[in-house]
Amino acid sequence: MKFQLKLDKQEAEAFRNFANTVKPENINMNDFVRSIFFNGVRSLEEELTKNMVKHIQENREEFEASGFTFDPEGNLTGVDESSTSGTLQEAE
C-alpha cells in the first residue's frame, strides 16, 4: 500500500527541518516517515480506546444492561493498560 501526502511549501520546509533535526543517520527517510505514521496511528488508537472506555464507565448503567461488567470501583473489567496500548500490528 502506498500513501501520498501533499504538503504546501511551508509544511514541506517544516517537515524537512524536523526530519533533518531528529532522524537518526542510520535510518533512511522512507523508514523514518513510516515510523512516524505508525506511531501516530498507534497513539490515535490508544486515545480512542481510552475515550471509549471512559464513556462506557460514565454510562455504566446503560452498558451493564447491555452485558458489560464492571469491578467494585466502577472500572470496566477486561480493560487495562496492556489492552489499550500497542494493539496495532504493522502488516508487511
Rounded to whole angstroms, the Cα distance separating 20 from 25 reads 9
Rounded to whole angstroms, the Cα distance separating 70 from 62 reads 12
What pLDDT, in 10s, does the model give residues 19-45? 999 999 999 999 999 999 999 999 999
List CB contacts of 37: < 8 A, sequence separation 6 or more: 3
pLDDT: is 84 or 50 the higher one? 50
Any alpha helices (H) in the chain, and if so which ranges? Answer: 9-22, 29-58, 60-65, 81-84
Output the CA–CA distances (angstroms, integers) from residue 11 to 18, 46, 75, 90, in the order listed: 10, 26, 42, 27
Model-level pTM? Answer: 0.62
CA-wise closest residue to 19 among 36, 44, 41:
36
- The phi and psi torsions of 86 (rounded to 5 degrees) equal 65, 30
Q: List the chain domain ranges.
A: 27-84
